[in-house]
A = this chain, B = another copy of it.
Amino acid sequence: MKLTSKGRYAVMALVDLARFNNINPVSLRDISLRQGISLDYLEQIFSKLRKKEIVQSVRGIQGGYVLNKKANEIKLTNIFDAVDEKVKTVQCKKESKKGCNGKSTKCLTHNLWDELENHINNFFEQKSLEDLIKDNRERRI
């Protein structure tokens, strides 16, 4: 069970961006350098973030990206959702009426994984970008 780097990078990049957001658009090149993430990869990630209206792009010289919402309105859920980082515990969710194992009932542990998904998603729904920034300020990293 692990987090993909696409999800991690998306959050890292947005925290970075949010810190400089007030003044000017932030270029991916700068984020790339500061955070040590490949520029090409960042572009893929921001393309998705833009489509989900989490950031806005500013083209041309001095361009870059800007947050499209307030930092406290952007939750981790939104970010992960944008880059297709999902919490998957069981396969059998959407496939017809069948349960897991190809049988007609739910598997013995179905409810468990449901609980787990909820548990994790709650965490993601509560944390906002603002929380992360505050957290960093306090720890002075």
* Chain A residues close to B by CB (< 8 Å): 1-4, 7-8, 11-12, 15-16, 35-36, 85-90, 101-103, 105-113, 115-116, 119-120, 123, 127, 132, 135-136, 139, 141
Contact = CB atoms under 8 A, between A and B. Distances in A.
Given A1-B7, A8-B90, A36-B102, 10 more contacts: A1-B1, A1-B4, A2-B86, A3-B90, A15-B109, A16-B108, A35-B108, A108-B136, A112-B135, A120-B120
14 contacts: A1-B7, A2-B86, A3-B88, A3-B89, A3-B116, A8-B113, A15-B108, A15-B109, A35-B107, A105-B141, A108-B136, A108-B141, A115-B123, A120-B120
Given A108-B12, A141-B108, A36 B103 contact: yes
This chain: how many copies in the complex? Answer: 2
Contacts of A2: 1, 86-89
